[in-house]
Amino acid sequence: MARFLRLIGLMILAAGVILLVAGEAGVVSQDIVDPIFMPAIQAGAIALLAGLALSLLAPFGRMATRGRCTRCGTRIEKGQTYCHDHLMSAVQEFQDQTRGGH
């Protein structure tokens, strides 16, 4: 999502600058450029800054979810993926699958 916001922000900023240059060159009427340019630049800057902020905050989000069961979210021991109950159910599911194949 962060990469998407940064890309969209840069594209909107580039479109605003191209629109401004086209307006100054006389290709596009100033009546079209004036009401669109500032909102486009502001929207592009907001999207770009939001993408950068999400990129900077992503490691903290991963740290907050570390140490939790992937199925139910309860706290687990270091190095584990599932809590005890879900680990047992995953092992039983695997055993059921392997027994059915023989």
- pLDDT (0 to 100) of residue 54: 94
Q: How many CB atoms lie within 10 A of CB 88?
A: 11
Q: What is the pLDDT of residue 101?
A: 58
Domain co-membership, 21 together with 37: yes
One domain, residues 77 and 40: no
Helix (H, G, I), strand (E, B) or coil at 86: helix
The pLDDT tens digits for 61-92 are 777 667 888 888 888 888 788 888 898 998 99
Range(s) of the domain holding residue 48: 1-66
